[in-house]
């Protein structure tokens, strides 16, 4: 009863290359799936570094040109971990070759580009997914369950922020392999596409679509030395980005992201306030969900800190015993497991490219509003 | 060496009448001041209830017409605790009679009205103060000290919210003595003037003036029975109000207030992110200040939860011993103590009417922006 | 319908003199009681300081000899705030003169002394109470309610500690007015009678009597300069004290107190684990009770942080509005209110002298066990 | 430059079999070591289950008799994950065959048995380690660094507890594969050897040896159905165990463990109070260390919550980026990495069998004191 192989070809070996490789290597130890995940090929331009990466993680072959990778017969799924400006080209080529696609976020550099990517996978009818991994932190998934069970009732408010502090130092350069996130040509935008996009994906998953936004962005440090030119150059990305919005369900949203919030390494928090229940989550303690239940007896009401580590909580029966927490990397393992289950069952798991496009539409509106200084409608997917 | 008496005449015996009375009764037990605070007269229309209030709190005389009160020779200071729509009339009359004034917040129903109030006290040269009491929670005052000492460096971000949940029930009526805050005719606005105003006053005290804003407001429950008419009437206030802003110092602000955030009784939180230090505070644990100090050694960096109860922390030498917390009511005692010290020393303590007007200018801009759907400049005091 | 006066005569004006004075001054503003509390007389040996104290707090007369005070006809209740070594003498004299007695804790220097005090009040049939105030922090009282309602079920564990750090400095002297707590002649013992006694009183109130104990005590700094002699003298008190015990109900107890726990100003924590519910409390955030309810749905179980500030929670309807916390001093106001209600209704509130004696029996056993190095039975009150 | 292989043979496939397998599978992805860890053979009696386990985790061969395993030439290290009553026999045989040994904790069923195990590895001069994994949660390792750097100064107090709640249900049976921990014949003792032993190992690593103890143990539920006999039988283990102690350095210790603390899944907490710094840690948020630093400026002192996820904190440069937490399983990866580094460098990492014996001596004294009801000296390793 051998399992059907699912042969992955990964493009990129940076930070995301590591998190994905770890997920592929681990998923079979913890999840009993219908396919066996095979780490078939790793691809990048620098052969030496690539070889070292492949050896370390157990990728069976290497490829230095992604165009060849997407044409290989022994590859079922292309995993795109490259900087944002190459997502579209690789994904469209992969779709044309009939490959399933796992694409890092944000999907495209902007909505119009992401539309083409969606069109390509729809035409090719290939499985597709975007790596908005935070949906699969068990505490966030538990939030989704409680919302879907109707426990919150009518929603009034949603607020989220993603706060970092690693670019405060003015001596930090921009560009190059490690710092492409500071170069708008490569990244598309700054924190809007990098951090806010995560907040938006989770928000729409939990609370539905966004109708309109008013936004502001800021670039605190105007010039930084560029790694490639060695010269001081204008910083082209947004260092901070915030917006107010209306959700389609009538609730109000507040979103903020920045890399200038001293003291926060990677603080993604979200809160949703419903008529009967409110929920809060925080990436710095990602194994906990805060729940306020108005149905509790009056004098005993309070915010519960739920340690999401029990077998009846999402994903946790696959791991250890109650009380023993998992971490960041496990969200990627869960995503791979759910992607494979989607193949097993024919019910694709999200976020799909369609979901990724929806998020790009919101970030487009945010960036536009920051320029026009007006409320902007968010384009809706038909 | 008898102390000079400072004879207070208070108008209103509602919730704020109680908090102020408690402050006057206690201040002399804990602070050694140059004046002796005398609870001279309490004033309200309902004589029976007024008499009961005066007896309970030790107000020596009563008065049922505030016009008489402001003319009495035996009163030095008028304390205005009435609903918002009468602040201006009483304050202007008190000023004309040479009385010092302690006025509940917000100062006026709007900026133009507050301008007249400021003009009146400036013309009369009388001491004046607005009851934005949260400046004087010791943890907030400690934040101010750290900022003034330059420990934060350049400021990048300020965020604050004031979240409540007491109006979610659609059966709650509007208007009348207890619920005038839900009636725009009396209150001026909803949460904008009631809750956001607190956040704005503290923010400008800590971080300077606000330049411009983009805002949204919402009224979730459109009709409520009015207490006075007994009929369902349109709700005229904002249930929720949020805005983005630029401060004059270049930092970015996010503010939100609502009475529909299930699970939050009166959660006023603020956070300020500076280059070298960040600070957070939360009204639900008002005796603590969270401090992140970037100067700490790298591997030992973290958010400190400072239990503000030591003698070298603001106001605390007047109370108990380290570790023993004080509460909400003490902020009013501190405000009275500082007001009296201002008289003793000739250096008036804030927030003065000028500060109150500055806050009204911001709330005016917020309410306007919510209507125009554009960024609005905030009027600045020359 | 004038209220019956309850004329208090207080002995001592130290820290406890202040907390009690504040309670007497405030109680009538917040509680509608059958008696009116009158601050009739303050007593101490130093007339100048006493006069100043009396003026500041509104004590109507002064007395420099407690023997005269207890004989005065215009005094109904004697409040004993003196160092521990004079509690017995004053209390017994007060009882003989038919006075009600409010005595600071611990009741006696030891059980045998406290037995005489109990006998005196029983013979005189006078109201009596011991100032174990922490029972009346609303969160602790809420814990008692939940236990009495049977929500916890069978109890397995109780643990408490009281941690301070103010005597770590070896240069701190012992003895004299301010530091009598470091002199066993005056204090009876060190942290055992000062801090552990609080933990024990609350524990027996919540969880019933203690059967037997095994204990250890330690004096970390062996010699300190004595304030009165100016010489280095042996330190006679225990700096730290801990014990294990069995409660009469079969549950296990762990108790610890110290003044050498760096970082803890006055951290009194308690936790009780029952079959169906567990509760935790912490003096540093005294307005919160932590509740774990096993009856909650499995995947939503967690520790609730209950902000005890609602009108349906103990004592809180007398104070402000939900979300606005009270502090340390309020526990004393509640104690006075309950003492007076006991007089009003004829149902005396605890802790009475009998309760105080029970605690002294436990501390006696702790100190004995620390010497004998064996388990010691705790004497039980018949 | 191929790495030297380190071929592991594991005995047992239960919960610990999984955690160790995961560690062996992952360690090479994250740590650059001098040896390559090879998952050579898995051993257990039930061949079918063993085969399934080996396939899932990638163990290359299987063996159903541990006696054969320890004699195989292709095995370098034996990993013992069996119930406690077989540790000694397997370890001694493995040592005789010259194998390195990684043994689950506690080392022996008691001190005398562990002495033989230590003698065997000393005689055979084979690498040896005990799986007290919590030393290698990065926050705990950071605590060790701070202590070794002398930041705490003289130590006054150490307290630890390990609280669980999974045996409260009286219907839970005892014995058999899953519940051997409830059978003293197999487990040696109850929570004393299972949970307290963890607390003791960490404590002695951080704070040195224990001199003497006074203890109590309790079995709350006296009879449970035995899985093997199907009959109600006396419960032979301790459900709860607590002790007071003196450390050799003069500090005082309090330890408690139980499986009857409702609301705590696996709450291992420790705190150490030094003259200049105190530290706290909690397994339920294992990625955080609480630090109180007395050297901080007075008004800014507080407990810091340090999110141990930065590259300059122990082990963390091997994982993700700052702010992204790791979990329980990573402590085992670290232990394997350090064991291998010990082989690479010739400096064996602890806890060695000698450390494991030291812990067994303490648990022996605890169990003895609980019976004798006296203080018992702890046997010291020469």
B300 touches chain D (CB under 8 A): yes
In a domain, C81, yes or no: yes
Same domain, D65 and D204: no
Place of tokens 């430059």: D1
Determine the Cα angle at D90 with ends D86 and D92, to 5°.
120
CA-atom Rg of chain D in angstroms: 21
> How far is residue D131 CA from its own chain's centroid?
4
In a domain, D382, yes or no: no
Same domain, C209 and C238: yes
Interface of B with C in 24-53 (CB under 8 A): 25-26, 28-29
In this complex, do D373 and C214 lie within 8 Å of one another by their Cβ atoms? yes
Residue of D294, D303, D304, D299 whose CA lies nearest to B145: D299
Same domain, A129 and A139: no
Same domain, B113 and B145: no
The minimum CA-CA distance between A292 and chain C, rounded to whole Å, is: 8
In this complex, do D291 and B303 lie within 8 Å of one another by their Cβ atoms? no
The overall average pLDDT reported for chain C is: 96
Identify the closest residue of chain C to B33 by CA–CA distance.
C56
pLDDT in tens, D325-346: 999 999 999 999 999 999 999 9
In a domain, D35, yes or no: yes
D329 touches chain A (CB under 8 A): yes
Nearest residue, CB atoms, C244 vs list D163, D220, D244: D244
Domain containing C315 equals 136-377
Q: Sorting pLDDT into bands at 50, 70 and 90, what band is C82?
A: very high
**C209 close to C248: Cβ distance less than 8 angstroms:** yes
Same domain, C127 and C183: no
Pairing of strands A240-247, A252-258: antiparallel
The minimum CA-CA distance between B257 and chain A, rounded to whole Å, is: 11
Which segments of chain A have a pLDDT < 70? 1
As for how many domains chain C has, the answer is 2
Chain B residues near residue A246 by CB distance under 8 angstroms: 216
Residue A179's pLDDT is: 85
**Domain finish residue from A133, A163, A189:** A133
In a domain, D369, yes or no: yes
Identify the closest residue of chain D to C170 by CA–CA distance.
D275
**D50 close to D353: Cβ distance less than 8 angstroms:** no
CA-atom Rg of chain A in angstroms: 21
Give dist(CA B20, CA B23) in Å, integer.
5
The CATH number linked to B175 is 3.30.360.10
In a domain, D119, yes or no: yes
> How far is residue D74 CA from its own chain's centroid?
27
Which segments of chain B have a pLDDT < 70? 1
The whole-number average pLDDT for the span D298-306 is 97
B138 touches chain C (CB under 8 A): no
The CATH number linked to A126 is 3.40.50.720
**B125 close to B101: Cβ distance less than 8 angstroms:** no
pLDDT in tens, D205-252: 999 999 999 999 999 999 999 988 899 999 999 999 999 999 999 999
In this complex, the chains that touch A, judged by 3 or more CB pairs closer than 8 A, are B, C, D
Same domain, D176 and D288: yes
pLDDT of D1 > 70? The answer is no
Residue D179's pLDDT is: 85
Nearest residue, CB atoms, B218 vs list A168, A216, A252: A252
**B194 close to A130: Cβ distance less than 8 angstroms:** no
In this complex, do D291 and B301 lie within 8 Å of one another by their Cβ atoms? no
Q: Sorting pLDDT into bands at 50, 70 and 90, what band is C1?
A: low
In sign, the C-alpha dihedral spanning A187, A189, A195, A199 is negative
Interface of A with B in 209-268 (CB under 8 A): 214-216, 218, 220, 240, 242-244, 246, 250, 252, 254, 256, 258, 260-264
Chain D residues near residue A266 by CB distance under 8 angstroms: 321-324
Same domain, B337 and B238: yes
In sign, the C-alpha dihedral spanning B90, B91, B95, B96 is negative
**Domain finish residue from D82, D98, D133:** D133
Residue B343's pLDDT is: 96
Longest Cα–Cα distance of chain A, Å, equals 66
**Domain finish residue from C113, C133, C153:** C133
Same domain, D54 and D171: no
| Structure token pair of residue D20 | 């160790």
pLDDT in tens, A195-236: 999 999 999 999 999 999 999 999 999 999 998 889 999 999
**B153 close to B275: Cβ distance less than 8 angstroms:** yes
Distances (CA, A) of B303 to A258, B70, D306: 18, 50, 7
In a domain, B382, yes or no: no
The pTM of this model reads 0.97
Q: Sorting pLDDT into bands at 50, 70 and 90, what band is D64?
A: very high
In a domain, C382, yes or no: no
Residue A356's pLDDT is: 98
Give dist(CA C262, CA C167) in Å, integer.
10
Chain C residues near residue D247 by CB distance under 8 angstroms: none
Identify the closest residue of chain C to A310 by CA–CA distance.
C299
Phi, psi of D203, rounded to the nearest 5 degrees: -60, -45
In a domain, A299, yes or no: yes
> How far is residue C95 CA from its own chain's centroid?
21
Residue D101's pLDDT is: 98
Chain B residues near residue D306 by CB distance under 8 angstroms: 299-302
Give dist(CA D273, CA D253) in Å, integer.
11
Report the residue of A54, A304, A308, A328 to disrupt the D interface, i.e. the one with the largest count of D CBs within 10 Å.
A328
Same domain, A116 and A146: no
Residue A279's pLDDT is: 98
The whole-number average pLDDT for the span C205-210 is 98
Residue A120's pLDDT is: 98
Chain B residues near residue C330 by CB distance under 8 angstroms: 327
Chain C residues near residue B29 by CB distance under 8 angstroms: 21-22, 25, 56-57
The whole-number average pLDDT for the span C33-41 is 97
Identify the closest residue of chain B to C2 by CA–CA distance.
B55
Same domain, B143 and B166: yes
Give dist(CA A229, CA A227) in Å, integer.
6
pLDDT in tens, D168-181: 999 999 987 778 88
Residue C382's pLDDT is: 80
D276 touches chain B (CB under 8 A): no
In this complex, do D240 and C252 lie within 8 Å of one another by their Cβ atoms? yes
Same domain, D144 and D72: no
Same domain, D322 and D354: yes
The whole-number average pLDDT for the span D47-76 is 97
In this complex, do B265 and C22 lie within 8 Å of one another by their Cβ atoms? no
The whole-number average pLDDT for the span C289-307 is 97
The ipTM, to two decimals, is: 0.96
The minimum CA-CA distance between A352 and chain C, rounded to whole Å, is: 28
pLDDT of C195 > 60? The answer is yes
């Amino acid at each position: 009863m051998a399992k059907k192989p699912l042969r992955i070809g990964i493009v990129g070996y940076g930070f995301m290359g590591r998190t994905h490789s770890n997920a592929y290597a681990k998923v079979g130890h913890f999840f009993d799936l219908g396919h066996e995940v095979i780490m078939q090929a790793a691809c990048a331009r620098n052969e030496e570094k690539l070889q070292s990466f492949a050896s370390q993680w157990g990728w069976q072959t290497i490829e230095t040109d992604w165009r060849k990778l997407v044409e290989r017969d022994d590859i079922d799924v292309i995993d795109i971990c490259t900087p944002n400006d190459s997502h579209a080209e690789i994904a469209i080529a992969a779709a044309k070759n009939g490959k399933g696609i796992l694409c890092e976020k944000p999907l495209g550099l902007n909505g119009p580009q992401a539309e083409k990517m969606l069109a390509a996978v729809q035409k090719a009818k290939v499985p597709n997914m975007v790596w908005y991994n935070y949906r699969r932190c068990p505490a966030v998934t538990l939030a989704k369950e409680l919302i879907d069970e109707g426990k919150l009732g009518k929603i009034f408010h949603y607020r989220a922020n993603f706060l970092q502090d690693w670019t405060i130092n003015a001596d930090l350069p921009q560009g190059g392999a490690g710092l492409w996130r500071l170069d708008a040509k490569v990244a598309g935008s700054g924190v809007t596409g990098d951090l806010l996009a995560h907040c938006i994906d989770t928000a729409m998953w939990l609370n539905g679509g966004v109708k309109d936004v008013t936004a502001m962005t800021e670039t605190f440090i105007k010039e930084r030395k560029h790694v490639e030119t060695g010269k001081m150059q204008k910083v082209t990305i947004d260092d901070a980005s915030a917006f107010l919005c209306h959700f389609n369900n009538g609730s109000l949203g507040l979103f903020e992201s920045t890399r200038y919030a001293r003291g926060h390494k990677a603080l993604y928090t979200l809160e949703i306030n419903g008529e009967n229940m409110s929920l809060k989550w925080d990436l710095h303690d990602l194994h906990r969900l805060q729940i306020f239940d108005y149905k509790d007896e009056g004098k005993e009401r309070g915010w519960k800190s739920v340690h999401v580590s029990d077998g009846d909580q999402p994903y946790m029966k696959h791991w250890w015993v109650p009380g023993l927490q998992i971490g960041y990397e496990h969200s990627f393992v869960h995503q791979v497991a759910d992607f494979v289950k989607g193949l097993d069952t024919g019910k694709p798991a999200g976020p799909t490219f369609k979901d990724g496009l929806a998020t790009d539409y919101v970030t487009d509106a945010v960036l536009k509003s920051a320029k026009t200084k007006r409320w902007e409608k968010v384009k809706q997917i038909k």
